[in-house]
Amino acid sequence: MLNLDRNLLLGLISLKDATFIQRNVKIILDVQLKRASGESPVHDEAALAAICRRDPAALNELAPFLGDAWVQSLMQSFRDGRGDG
């Protein structure tokens, strides 16, 4: 995340891409925090699913940060018609 600002200032990434990365990393961290504290991440998972539905490439970009089980859950939500946001 520290390199995100630097890359933006150097023009290596666009503001749109930086905002996208920052928003999704925040969602992932919020979900992980809620999982660690025992809270249900359903709302955040639905928000992330909606983002991935709007931009299917996002799931591929975020997959390394998500566990296999979560990626499978997102994919299943797409098949079931959930994840519309």
What's the whole-model pTM score?
Answer: 0.45
Cβ atoms of 27 and 48 closer than 8 Å:
yes
pLDDT at 85: 42
Angle at 54 between CA 56 and CA 17, to 5 degrees: 80
The residues spanned by each domain of the chain are 2-80
Asked whether residue 1 carries a pLDDT value surpassing 70, the answer given is no
For residues 71 and 43, is the Cβ–Cβ distance under 8 A? no
| Residue pair 48/31 in contact by the 8 Å Cβ criterion | yes
One-letter identity of residue 52: C
**Residue 15: predicted pLDDT:** 92
Per-residue pLDDT tens digits for 11-70 = 999 999 888 888 888 888 887 777 777 655 555 677 777 778 888 788 777 777 777 887
